[in-house]
A and B are shown apart, each in its own frame.
Chain A
Amino acid sequence: MTKKWTQREATTGATVSPGAINDELRAQQSSITTLDREQLPGAYANATRVKDYALQRVYQASAYPTGGEQDTAVLTSPLANTSWNAAAFRSYPGGWVNASSGNGITLTDWKGGMLHVEWTGNAYIMGGMAEGRSAFYPYNPRYVNLRITANGVTIAERRGPACHEAFRVLGSKLLPQGPTTLRFQWRITGPGEDDCLITDAGNVVPQAHLWGMRYLAIGRWR
């Protein structure tokens, strides 16, 4: 798409003056100074011609939070060796709890547009006490409810695992430009009145734990 001289082309050996180039620029004003993207050829853009993050940005962590384990509402004692340091009814405050005690996931330089986010991991829930003698139909199945919030607004929510298994929560949402923070949150079903919560040896029975967590988020501007 090289521009062509239309006025006084400067050739070798010829006499030149500022007017030569200024006339040309004036004549081509419409096409030189107002070149817009519709005039660009297909496949014109590449990594050297486009600024980083001009079109999209990927945010990712192979383990979130550090080590991939939830670090909130964790009980560490007294536990049997066959348990994890995990959330027990003794440490769980009720309601939605952040999976990480940190400040959440900051989407750096969020320009506004479509967010796609994948939150992957494994969740343990102690579901074996669902059929208590005093819990008539329906019984009391336990779930690790999961949700993703963006600046405090829920953008994806799942009922979550009812046993010890892998989970994946996917969300997509148009988000306005500006500082944006994602949070991954969990909530567990409360205890039934018959639940065995202390073992015969006096150890607490952990109820839930999120582990092996990682995430991928993609921001596609406009």
Chain B
Amino acid sequence: MSRITDGPVQDGDTLDAASLNDRFGSYTQTDLNAFNARDASHDLPQFATGWVETHTQSQLLGATSFKHGSTTTVNGQTAMPASPVAITGTMSFGSGLTISTDEILRVYWNLSVKPNPGTDWNTAGSLGYYVFPGTGGGTRAASTWGAVWAFYLEWDITSSALGAFVPVNGQQAFTSVIGTKYGNTLAQCEATSVVPADLRYADPNSGELASDSTQGNIKWRGISGSWYYPRTSGSLTVYGLRLVVKGILHPWNNASTTNYLVHDTTYSTSASLEYTSGNLSVLKQRVK
């Protein structure tokens, strides 16, 4: 129901045509504003199409190959600091996608991948193994199950030339120096999704390792991730978005209570990752 707050016309008021017409004008549509229109007085038919959802876009990643006949290989990174490897398929917004105040950019990705753990998971210098007592004496190594390939988002917010991709807001590039390592704190991984670098099963027996561990059969698997960027003031124009990968990375605490994800250059020596196809999607919408 509409609500008008003009008081009634009283006997004795000084009246003229203009004041009466102004009063009458109170009842026109332009005055049915936020004050008059109560919260529940509207439903979707009264909103223009695209009022809530202001942009959607999708981009194929890699090459469509459902039988994995055509794959792209990314080798483990050993030279530090390493540059990220861009997954084929950059999402371009042409002259730019503007994220305005009270809008949020929702980004989703998925990709079909197959890690190859290589043979250096327990080479001296690798972070990827624990040493446990061996049954009958001595010691044996078992995987930490911490090693991963990390996928994260980059955007270009400078120009449509798409030549200046940087990690998105809240994400860093795993290039910070942490003691002798390169990586991120976990707090710097707001747009990261990981996939395991190996699935190596130990042979435990009463708290000891009875024999050497065995490599599980890592088959093709899917990775997925999502990231949200709300704009609470001003606006930001995004020209491009892409998914990149780095690896192999491993947990590290640097003898502190801070958790890091750092490059494991030893483990990476013989490791690689294959990928085929996936999708990068964005959805921009109002938050209220």
Residue of B nearest to A66 (CB): B187
Task: Tell me which of B8, B127, B130, B196 has the highest count of chain A C-beta atoms within 10 A of its own C-beta.
Answer: B130
Cβ of A197 within 8 Å of any chain B Cβ, yes or no, is: yes
Residue of B nearest to A130 (CB): B201
* Binary A-proximity of B126-148 (CB < 8 A = 1, otherwise 0): 01101111000001001111111
A48 to B51, CA, bound (A): 12
Cβ of B20 within 8 Å of any chain A Cβ, yes or no, is: yes
Cβ of B250 within 8 Å of any chain A Cβ, yes or no, is: yes
Which DSSP category, helix, strand, loop or mixed, fits chain A's interface? Answer: loop
A33 to B1, CA, bound (A): 7
CB within 8 Å of A: which B145-193 residues: 145-148, 169-170, 185-187, 189-190, 192-193
Given contacts A82-B251, A83-B251, A111-B39, contact A55 B20 (CB under 8 A): no
Query: Would B194 and A122 count as touching, CB distance under 8 A?
Result: yes
Q: How large is the interface on A (under 10, 10 to 19, 20 to 34, 35 or more residues)?
A: 35 or more
Task: Tell me which of A28, A85, A86, A209 has the highest count of chain B C-beta atoms within 10 A of its own C-beta.
Answer: A85
Total of A-B residue pairs, C-beta within 8 Å: 284
Given contacts A34-B1, A35-B1, A118-B226, contact A48 B104 (CB under 8 A): no
Q: What chain A residues lie within 8 Å of B201 (beta carbons)?
A: 128, 130-131
Which DSSP category, helix, strand, loop or mixed, fits chain B's interface? Answer: mixed
Cβ of B206 within 8 Å of any chain A Cβ, yes or no, is: yes
Q: What chain B residues lie within 8 Å of A54 (beta carbons)?
A: 37, 39-40, 42
Query: Would A82 and B252 count as touching, CB distance under 8 A?
Result: yes
Q: What chain B residues lie within 8 Å of A11 (beta carbons)?
A: 17
Cβ of A105 within 8 Å of any chain B Cβ, yes or no, is: no
A32 to B34, CA, bound (A): 17
A81 to B257, CA, bound (A): 10
Q: How far is the CB of B81 from chain A (nearest CB, A)?
A: 20
A53 to B40, CA, bound (A): 10
CB within 8 Å of B: which A56-105 residues: 56-58, 60, 62-63, 66-69, 76, 79-86
Query: Would B189 and A68 count as touching, CB distance under 8 A?
Result: yes
Partner of A24, one of B24, B146, B189: B24
Query: Would A43 and B46 count as touching, CB distance under 8 A?
Result: yes
A111 to B252, CA, bound (A): 44
Q: How large is the interface on B (under 10, 10 to 19, 20 to 34, 35 or more residues)?
A: 35 or more
A-B contact pairs, 19 of them (CB 8 A): A16-B17, A53-B288, A55-B43, A68-B186, A81-B253, A81-B254, A82-B128, A84-B252, A84-B253, A85-B259, A111-B39, A128-B145, A128-B200, A133-B205, A163-B196, A165-B221, A168-B224, A196-B208, A212-B190
Q: How far is the CB of B44 from chain A (nearest CB, A)?
A: 8
Interface stretch (choices B25-33, B64-72, B90-98, B273-281) = B25-33
A40 to B30, CA, bound (A): 12
A129 to B206, CA, bound (A): 11
Residue of B nearest to A11 (CB): B17
Starting from the known contacts A49-B33, A84-B259, 11 additional A-B residue pairs (CB-CB under 8 Å) come to A1-B28, A37-B43, A54-B39, A58-B285, A120-B227, A122-B192, A122-B193, A128-B213, A134-B206, A166-B224, A211-B186
